[in-house]
């Protein structure tokens, strides 16, 4: 389910909560760490 959508410069960011369904807090932290790592490489 789409939770939030916003734009930063030319980047459209869509936040969905379905990635977290049936995940532990540890699983969620791994996902967030991976997203942060990708974002740092892109910037």
pTM: 0.55
pLDDT for the residue 34: 93
Residue carrying structure tokens 């790592």: 37
Tens-level pLDDT at each residue, the chain (43 residues): 999 999 999 999 998 888 778 999 999 899 889 989 998 887 6
Closest CA to 38 of 13, 7, 1: 13
For residues 17 and 3, is the Cβ–Cβ distance under 8 A?
yes
pLDDT for the residue 43: 60
Query: Rounded to whole angstroms, how far apart are CA atoms 12 and 34?
Result: 19
């Amino acid at each position: 389910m789409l939770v939030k959508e916003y734009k930063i410069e030319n980047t459209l960011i869509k936040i969905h909560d379905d990635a977290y369904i049936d995940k532990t807090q540890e699983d969620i932290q791994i996902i967030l760490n991976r997203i942060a790592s990708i974002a740092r490489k892109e910037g």
